[in-house]
Amino acid sequence: MNKITAAITAVGAYVPDFVLTNQVLETMVDTNDEWITSRTGIKERRILKDADKGTSFLAIKAAEDLIAKANINPLEIDLVLMATATPDMQVSATGAYVATQIGATNAFAYDLQAACSSFLYGMSTAAAYIQSGRYKKVLLIGADKMSSIVDYTDRTTCIIFGDGAGAVLFEPNTEGLGLQDEYLRSDGIGRDFLKIDAGGSLHPPTIQTVEEKRHSIRQDGKTVFKYAVTNMADASEQILKRNNLTNEDVDFLVPHQANKRIIDATANRMNLEESKVLMNIERYGNTTSATLPLVLNDFEHLFKKGDTIIFAAFGGGFTWGSIYLKWAYNKQ
């Protein structure tokens, strides 16, 4: 009997219509297009302006896009994994609501949160369920409405983040394709450098925490950048060494879209030519849990069956890692 691996068999995505450009940000905070572009590589980001719509709206749209393109029956989905740092609400799992809304009523569903590494960790989780042999179709969605936790008077964070969602379907494969290996890590030293201070059990909401804007994301940019550059590059290098891969063996790098300089550092460590490094950060900014599937969706037309793809991400906590996957299909 051939070994079961977990392969991506379909992708979908959704981004809101409203485009927040660097030029618009110039009218909101003390910054400019040249500074933002040179420091981050970001030109614009998408924002979900509807006050009555949350992350679930983005997730549902991305899942529906995948379902339509792959022509699958939602009733056949066994599990919906919702990777997000911005759930609709606390306690009530956003994934459960999304699963019901897309008609995946035979699936169980839950949320997975590891900041910007959420989707990467979700890939590992989805693959484990498939490889167990118990489940045949696992839908992994990465979605975040980052605008809901950004303080648009804070120029260090408001220039970075955008809203969006992407989804992938994992299914069993017996051809040796799909997820091959993973190198996942975390370090609690990052707890104070990238966070939302209030709203959790440590600092519950009060009038004071709201007035002090402690419910918005904050980061120590220099420290986060230093750790991200080192660890994302290290993880990618480790996954190559563990699998005896060279830069020639890698067809594409799919990196978390947080900062172009971090992506460049990772690609340089892997000694990859520019054409193999996939980026859409200039159009979407950092959509947190959605960056990796948005890249897959945008560049799906380039992938060929058997291609070697390396994923890499870094997020708050700190959380980070790299995944080695062989692509399982040619786009029709």
Question: What pLDDT is recorded for position 263?
Answer: 97
Q: Which residues of 287-326 are buried (b: 16+ CB within 10 A; e: fewer)?
A: bbbbbbbbbbbbbbeebeeebbbbbbbbbbbbbbbbbbbb
| Cα 151 to Cα 124: distance, rounded to the nearest angstrom | 32
Question: What pLDDT is recorded for position 106?
Answer: 98
At 249, list the tokens: 């063996």
Q: What is the pLDDT of residues 63-95, one digit of tens each?
A: 999 999 999 999 999 999 999 999 999 999 999
pLDDT exceeds 60 at position 1: no
Give the percent of the chain with pLDDT over 70.
Answer: 100
Given the residues 116, 173, 231, 297, the one annotated as active site: 116
Average pLDDT over residues 10-38: 96
Average pLDDT over residues 295-301: 98
Given the residues 173, 231, 259, 286, the one annotated as active site: 286
Catalytic residue at 286? yes
- E-strand stretches of the chain: 5-14, 18-21, 44-47, 79-83, 108-112, 138-145, 163-173, 178-186, 194-195, 218-219, 252-255, 308-315, 319-326
pLDDT exceeds 90 at position 49: yes
Catalytic residue at 158? no
pLDDT class of 169 with cuts at 50, 70, 90: very high
Given the residues 22, 231, 256, 297, the one annotated as active site: 256
Catalytic residue at 116? yes
